[in-house]
Chain A
């Protein structure tokens, strides 16, 4: 009984070390990728296209809708307690600092996290990964690094677009319902926006990008031989990504408030 527990713990630790080693490899190869600009350059472009550009419509709609809702709710409620000026702080806190990074991360987990895990898993099953090794191509540098960089870059950029649509786009939509003077709105927004907000938002996106890509690729490679393992690893990838992103979000928010 104790031996079983001990074995489990050792297994767990080994698993974590393995994962840590994997992450290290990924980071190293990504760094080298940027420096060497090998064959994977086209792969990187395609990755950003699929992960970033194709998710833009979802992100835009989400950002717009959220922004509009916040503005309308805020502008109905806040002036009643004489705090109309708080709407800008609320917008910045909700869209820039909190929902921007985490919602775009969720969108990317759902779209690209699943796709990457599935793709890599099926490549393992069909021995394509082995074929890469046989030719001498390091699968981490050729497959994982561009995905890692592509997903992280896409997340960063999508976060920015989320802010564009959430802060700016929603303004134009609200004009149809409850007009606010342009200068007043943007001045209010710019006064509430601190560089720390922007930094926190970008750092979050970066961390989430690393998490999503690393977890998806790691789980994809864990397939061994049967294609029935593929959905299992995808589920694991999604679950782990969600959890790690939320934990990272909490940690970064804490750091932001302790500064």
Chain B
């Protein structure tokens, strides 16, 4: 009989046994590798979205898998809760202030959960503790406070994207601010806006209108005065006649003049006070100073007229040259915008 037939039973026995042994070995190795008999510690975390998360997804720390996601669920606040377990060999890495980061690969595949331990060297967290995700408020706070040990990204693409992203964000924010600012200024300039600059300009233009009116009135008064002063039969000339009332007024040993002078001096002082007051106001309302300047100008002219009357060569003296007093502030129309 052929060898094969003679030892059929032995051959078949070996055939079957080797296969069964292999199967048993594989099962044992899987058991060890997948930790059927090792203790896992369970924790929870929360993410804003479940995208990129899957049950069984590994949790890695420095390239080593330290655990995996057990469960993913949506809570009442529309956030995604995950339950995950950590192998007992790595439990001492789960310290206070640790965070969990969801890394997504730019290609859409791969990516995973990366664990960043807290810098705190205390005992590991108790089981079922909550570990915040990197993107949550808590997580960001921990990172900014420097309580989490976050290494730079090893993957070049991710790193670049990571760095560009905040820059872009900042630029965006800046552009938005500038845009808002320009809008405000434009609005302010056109007087349409509600902010102080706008109201300032609105008021200024109102005031200019009023001042113009006052000036016109003053001008007409001055004209009439001048006309009155120059017409030979006018009251001024009449007054200046040696027998006129003027003579009488002026020849009372300067009493009236002194009186008027005092009055004018008082008026001047008052105006000066007003001017000082306006100087104070000037920091915010330079146009009032301008108006007051014009007023002073007019009063100076008035003063000149009276002085001229006093110092009329027909009577005596002359007009003292007026000393131009500089304005206490730049006219509001002087400065450029």
Contact = CB atoms under 8 A, between A and B. Distances in A.
Q: Do A and B bind each other?
A: yes
A173 B287 CA distance: 96
B15 A45 contact: no
A82 B110 contact: yes
Given A81-B107, A198-B27, A191 B15 contact: no
A193 interface: yes
Interface residues of B, number: 22
A194 B33 CA distance: 11
Contacts of B11: 49, 53
Interface string A155-172: 011001101100000000
Contacts of A193: 26, 30
11 contacts: A48-B16, A53-B11, A53-B15, A56-B15, A81-B109, A153-B16, A156-B19, A157-B15, A157-B19, A191-B34, A198-B23
Given A52-B12, A160-B22, A191 B107 contact: no
Nearest to B17: A157
Interface in A97-119: none
A157 B16 contact: yes
Interface of A: 45-46, 48-49, 52-53, 56, 81-83, 153, 156-157, 160-161, 163-164, 186-187, 190-191, 193-195, 198
Contacts of B19: 156-157, 160-161, 164
Contacts of A187: 33
Interface of A is mostly: helix
B29 interface: yes
Given A160-B23, A194-B34, 20 more contacts: A45-B8, A45-B9, A46-B5, A48-B15, A49-B4, A49-B11, A53-B4, A53-B12, A56-B15, A83-B109, A153-B16, A157-B16, A160-B20, A160-B22, A190-B29, A190-B33, A193-B30, A194-B30, A195-B30, A198-B26
Interface in B33-84: 33-34
